[in-house]
Every structure is written in C-alpha cells, then in structure tokens.
A and B are shown apart, each in its own frame.
Chain A
Amino acid sequence: MVENRPWLTFLQHFVLLCGVALVVFPIWIAFVASTHDGRSLVSGVIPLLPGDLFFENYRTLLSEGMAGSGGGPVWLMLFNSLVMALSIAVGKIAISLLSAFAVVYFRFPFRMFCFWIIFATLMLPVEVRILPTFEVVANLGMLNSYAGLSIPLIASATATFLFRQFFLTVPDELTEAARMDGAGPFRFFKDILVPLSRTNIAAIFVIMFIYGWNQYLWPLLVTTDESFYTIVMGIQRMVTVADSYPRWHLAMATTVLALLPPVIVVVVMQRLFVKGLVETEK
C-alpha cells in the first residue's frame, strides 16, 4: 500500500476480526448447542464451549431424526438435498451449455426470440408465480418426486449467459481448424468447446449446487410426503418443535448439517467460485 501506518493496519485487523466474529459466531453457537444435551440448554445461559455429546446427538439425528418434528431420519433429508442439488447443478449446466451453443454458433430463424424467452426466466423467480407453478407441477404428477424438486428449477438464464459470454471469446480459428479437421458441430462441441469451458463449468457448478441445496420455498410447495423432505425445509419444523420441547440441541445439529455441505463446497472451491460469481453478473 501507499504508506505504512501502524494504526491503520491495526484498525484493519480489528474491523476484519469483528466481521469474522459476526460471520462465525452464529455458526459456532449452533455447533456448541449441538454438542450438549437438550436440558442443559434450557437451564440458564447457553455454554460457549462444546459439550461431550457430539457423537451421540449426531448419531441420533442421522439415524432416527427428531421425535415430534414430522420428518424422517436426517440422513434421508441430507440425501434428498444432495439429489436435488446435484440434479439442479448438473441439469442447469447441461441445458445451458446446449442452448448457449445453439445461440452462439448457429444462425436460424427466431434465434433472438428464443434468446429472449430464456432471458425471461430472470424476471420470473419462483416467488412471484408460486401458485400457478405449483398447479403445473401438480397436473404433471410431479409432486413428491425428485423430478418435481429439480426439473422446474433447471432452466437458468444465468448459466446460459455465462456460457454465451465465454463462447463468444473462443477464437473463430479454433472452430475453423476443427472444421478443417472434419469435426461437425456436435464433435466440435464435445471435443473442443466443452473441454475449453471446464473452468466455467466448475464455477457454475459451485454456484448452482449451493442454489439447489439452499432451495426452501420450492420443496415446501412440491413435497408433502416426508420421505422427500430436504434438510433446509425440514429445519423449520424442528425449530417449531424445539420451541415447545427442549430439543434445541437436535435442531441445531440439523442446522449444522444443513449448512455444512454448501459451506465446504464454497471454501474448497473458493477461487473458482469467486471468479464464477463475479463474472456471472457482468
């Protein structure tokens, strides 16, 4: 930096530590609560250090779930969330790659019209068309199914745009060289374009995995059968129960389990994810 001022460096550390504390504190407390037993939480103030029931609490939760919360064992919810997040991430990437390829590498009638239809999804988040979308899914018999949980969410303007932007930067000579080598459009897509997009695919995967994992309203709408509950939506029921019975330790353990997979994905793939996120919105 421009000058060396010790008090400024101190201020920086101080502010950033406060920020980190703000960010980490709620998660830490949730973790601590998940390692105590239910009764010690309700008697007096919550401890700040972990207890010794970590394994017991998580084992109970994963295998049996939380009594009275109307959900199955938590491992099933985690599994459902995983299926949903993976289907959404993979599905979005697949159909976005295909449609970006079509829009960028072909000239055909109604090309821009198709482009605008895809773009329209940006302006129609689930939240503004809750009821009619629910009706469509119900009429198609997709309630309480993995298809119903994921397919309606895999149309993505964001991913299509990112791939489109990237494809536009791929040099034309590569396309021509591939043509000289005898590659048709599909061969070019499979052998050249997709391998070149690896970094973007990985970045989009992280973003979309988190998007899928963190869905709340949608599973709330399309699942009534508890064997299809996802963990994020399941928490709400546990909290309602925990308010009446001393089961906060289990509710918080569920919370920790619900946030752990996406947090791990983000932290591990930090660099890719940050690049992808900042570029998607350009």
Chain B
Amino acid sequence: MHKKVTFGGFGFPLLLLLPQLAITLVFFIWPAAQALYQSVLRQDAFGLRTTFVGLNNFARLLSDSSYLGSFKVTMVFSASVTLAGLAIALLLAVMADRTIKGATGYKTLLIIPYAVAPAVAGVLWYFLFNPSIGILAYLVRGMGYAWNHQTSGTDAMILVIIASVWKQISYNFLFFLAGLQAIPKSLIEAAAIDGAGPWKRFTSIIFPLLSPTTFFLMVVNVVYSFFETFGVIHATTSGGPGQSTTILVYKVFTDGFVALNLGSSAAQSVILMLIVILLTAIQFRYIERRVQY
C-alpha cells in the first residue's frame, strides 16, 4: 500500500528516519550481529584468548542435558500458559459479550492485570502462595497438600504459570472480546431462528468464526511465555528449585550474566532469535492471509 501523493526530496526523509534507524542499528542490529559472531567463538576461562570454534557451541548445547532440560521446562510452561490463558479469557469474553447489566464495570476490572508488570504479578502470587504466611498456601494445606514452591519443582512451576496466566488474561480477553464483537449479530440471530441454542451457537458459529483471533492470540501468547515472563520467574523462583523453572530466556541470562559463559550464552541467544523469527513469520503469514479476506 502506497500513497499516491508524496513530497519530493531525499535528504529530508532520511533525516526523519535517522533517529529510529540509528537506535535500531546501534541497539538492535549490532548486538544481534555480535551475538551471531560470538556464538561461533569460545573464550578461555580468564577471557584472555578467543578462538573460533564454528558450530561447536551449538553442538555442545544440544548435547547438554541442562539445556535440553530447560527446553522441556519451557515447553511445559509455554503450553500451560497459552492454553490456560486462552481458555479463561475466552470464557470471560463470551460471558462479557452478551449484554448484561454492569458489563462496563466487569470489563474495567478485567483489564487491570494488563497494567501490572510481570515481575509484580509474580510477587503478588508469590505472596499468596508463601508457604508460611500465604493465604492460598494455607487453604491448599487445609485440603491436605503441603504446598511449598521453595522445595517442590512442581509447585514452583504451577506458581509461575498462575502468575503468568493472570498477567496475560486482560490482553487475551480484550482481543477475544473485539473478535466476538466483530461477528455480525445477524449470523447469530439466524442461527437462533434455525433453532440453535446458546451452546450450539457457540460451537457451530461463534468459535469457528473466532478462529483467526484464537490463532493470533496463540502465537502472541507463545511469544509472551517465551520472553516476557522473565520477570515473573526472576522475581519469584529464580529458576529454581534446581532447574525446575529455568526457561530458555532465564538460562541465557544466568549463563551469560551470572556464569559469564559468553559463547554458550550467545549461541542460546541465536537459537532464541531463530525461534522469534519463526514465530513472527507464522504470525505474518497469518496477517497476510487475513488481509486477503
């Protein structure tokens, strides 16, 4: 899509683009290139000598059980966050789409978590599940389960999933609601006249028509769970206990920043980049397809 009416000149538009391009090149493209470059190098323990090792760093990663473990943790985490987040938000959106009294009030309250930082969301739930004073830990204990996310990997995982889902509900809710409101009312009325009840209408009309939104949100949520949840994990479990909540992004951070293993961290960055590019490409294909409708 292009404008027919434009201004002339060459220098002026480049001047306009300069700030954005400069920042992008210095803080995005250059570091990304550095990560690529460092991913094929290895430094010795004192950081004095650097040698070219080809794809060696990648080969090591893929045979490293802690890295593969982190991959598995990420998959479990990401799948749970995405599925739970979408399911809850869809339920709420479907309920809020029907006109009822107080709908605006519900909506206002439901969008609050969007404004809450992932780290803060993590801390809120960390406090609720605190083994000694948390009110939810107390309730769970009352049901006969000794909750302790400081010692149990499963409990820790559940904690970060809950916090991450909670934070993302608003976003999913808003998009589902927009998707629902874009469905022509006449279609639903036609289905009602054909004798379809509310549940039948949802499964045969609303949900299929919502599938573009659902797909879009799936990709967005996968990206969210891969990257933006860093704050949730860092502020609460710090990847533990053990490695049980160390997702890939968290591992890049600890290996690079805490353990100062540059080559490995760079190689992990490159793998993550590939994942984002893949996800973005999927999203883009989808957007393109939607544009054609």
The short answer to whether A and B are in direct contact, CB under 8 Å, is yes
Which residues A1-45 have CB closer than 8 A to chain B?
1-3, 5, 8-9, 11-13, 15-16, 19-20, 22-27, 29-30, 33, 41-42, 45
Interface residues of B in 160-191 (CB under 8 A from A): 166, 169-171, 174-175, 178, 188-189
B77-116 CB contact bits vs A (8 Å, 1 = yes)?
Answer: 0000000000010011001101110100011111111111
Kindly provide the distance from the CB of A222 to the nearest chain B CB, expressed in whole angstroms: 11
Query: Which residues of chain A in 227-282 are interfacial with respect to chain B, using CB atoms and an 8 Å cutoff?
Result: 232-233, 235-236, 239, 248, 251-252, 255, 258-259, 262-263, 265-267, 270, 273-274, 277-278, 281-282
Tell me if A15 and B91 are in contact (CB < 8 A).
yes
Residues of A within 8 A of B266 (CB): 131-132
A15 to B98, CA, bound (A): 12
Interface of chain A residues 137 through 167 with chain B (CB within 8 A): 137, 140, 151-152, 154-155, 160, 167
Q: Report yes or no: A123 in contact with B277, Cβ–Cβ below 8 A.
A: yes
Question: Which B230-283 residues have a C-beta within 8 angstroms of A?
Answer: 230-231, 234-236, 249, 252-253, 256-257, 262, 265-266, 269, 272-273, 276-277, 280
**In angstroms, how far is the closest chain A Cβ from the Cβ of B265?**
6
**Given A117-B21, A185-B12, are A232 and B31 neighbors across the interface (CB < 8 Å)?**
no
Given contacts A120-B29, A136-B30, contact A155 B24 (CB under 8 A): yes
Main secondary structure on B side of the interface with A: helix
Let me know if B252 and A130 touch, CB within 8 A: yes
The answer for the CA separation of A235 and B276 in the assembled complex, in Å, is 29
In the bound complex, do residue B120 and residue A19 qualify as a contact, i.e. CB atoms below 8 Å apart?
Answer: no
Please count how many residues in chain B sit with their CB below 8 Å of the partner chain's CB atoms: 102
Residues of chain A within 8 A (CB-CB) of B27 are 133, 136-137, 151-152, 155
Say whether B20 faces chain A, with CB atoms less than 8 Å apart: yes
Contact flags B200-242 to A (C-beta < 8 A → 1, else 0):
0000000000000000100010000001101100111000000
Inter-chain CA distance A166–B108, complex, in Å, is: 27
Binding-face segment, B1-9, B40-48, B49-57, B65-73? B1-9
Given A124-B273, A239-B235, A281-B216, are A95 and B23 also a contact pair (CB < 8 Å)? yes
- Shortest Cβ distance from B224 into chain A, in angstroms? 10
- Which one of B4, B117, B171 lies within 8 Å of A232 (CB-CB)? B117
Complex Cα gap A19–B107 (Å):
10
Residues of A within 8 A of B118 (CB): 214, 216
Q: Are B92 and A15 in contact (CB under 8 A)?
A: yes
Contact A124 B276 (CB under 8 A): yes
Q: Which residues of B contact A (CB under 8 A)?
A: 1, 3-10, 12-14, 16-17, 19-21, 23-32, 34-35, 38, 88, 91-92, 95-96, 98-100, 102, 106-121, 123-128, 130, 132-135, 138, 166, 169-171, 174-175, 178, 188-189, 192, 198, 216, 220, 227-228, 230-231, 234-236, 249, 252-253, 256-257, 262, 265-266, 269, 272-273, 276-277, 280, 287
Sample 17 A-B pairs with CB under 8 A, ordered by A number: A15-B92, A23-B169, A46-B134, A46-B135, A99-B17, A124-B32, A131-B257, A133-B31, A155-B20, A155-B28, A167-B3, A172-B3, A239-B126, A258-B120, A263-B112, A263-B116, A266-B115
